[in-house]
Amino acid sequence: MPKTPVVVPEGPFAPTWDSLLQYEVPDWYRDGKFGIFIHWGPYCVPAFGNEWYPRQMYLQGSAEFEHHLKTYGPHDRFGYKDFIPLFTAHKFSAAKWADLFAKAGARFVVPVAEHHDGFAMYASSFSKWCAAKMGPKRDVVGELAAAVREKGMVFGASTHRAEHWWFMNGGMKFPSDVQDPKYADFYGPAQPDGSQPNAEFLEDWLARTCEIVDKYQTQLIWFDWWIEQPVFKPYLRRFAAYLYNRAWEWGTGAAINYKNDAYPPGIAVWDIERGGLSGLHPFFWQTDTAVAKNSWGYVDPMDYKTPGQIVGDLVDIVSKNGALLLNIGPRADGTIPQEDQQILLAIGKWLKVNGEAIYGTRPWKVYGEGPTQVFEGHFTDTKRTDFTGQDIRFTTKGRNTLYAICLAWPGKELLIRSLGAHLRLYSGQVEKVELLGSKQPLQWQHEADGLRVKLPAQKPCEHAFGVKVTSR
Closest CA to 86 of 140, 46, 132, 48: 46
Amino acid 1: pLDDT: 59
Q: How many CB atoms lie within 10 A of CB 396?
A: 17
Q: Pick from 430, 435, 432: which is nearest to 414 by CA?
A: 435
Domains of the chain with bracketed CATH: 17-273 (3.20.20.80), 368-471 (2.60.40.1180)
Q: Which residues neighbour 231 within 8 Å (Cβ) at sequence distance 6 or greater?
A: 196, 197, 202
Closest CA to 247 of 2, 22, 32: 22
Secondary structure letter of residue 337 according to DSSP: P
The pLDDT value given to residue 421: 84
Whole-prediction pTM value? 0.98
Total residues found in the chain within this entry: 472
CA 29 to chain centre: 12
Distances (CA, A) of 8 to 49, 148, 206, 234, 310: 40, 28, 11, 12, 39
Three-class SS state of 69: helix
Per-residue pLDDT at 428:
86
Report helix angle 338-354 to 94-103, nearest 10: 40
3 state SS of 89: coil
Q: C-alpha 407: how far from its chain's center? A: 22
Report pLDDT for 230: 96
Helices first, then strands: H and E counts in the chain: 11, 16
Q: How many CB atoms lie within 10 A of CB 182?
A: 9
Tens place of pLDDT per residue across the chain (472 aa): 576 899 999 999 999 999 999 999 999 999 999 999 999 999 999 999 999 999 999 999 999 999 999 999 999 999 999 999 999 999 999 999 999 999 999 999 999 999 999 999 999 999 999 999 999 999 999 999 999 999 999 999 999 999 999 999 999 999 999 999 999 999 999 999 999 999 999 999 999 999 999 999 999 999 999 999 999 999 999 999 999 999 999 999 999 999 999 999 999 999 999 999 999 999 999 999 999 999 999 999 999 999 999 999 999 999 999 999 999 999 999 999 999 999 999 999 999 999 999 999 999 999 999 999 999 999 999 888 899 999 999 999 999 999 999 999 999 999 999 999 888 899 889 999 999 999 999 999 999 999 999 999 999 999 999 999 999 8
23, 268 contact by CB (below 8 A): yes
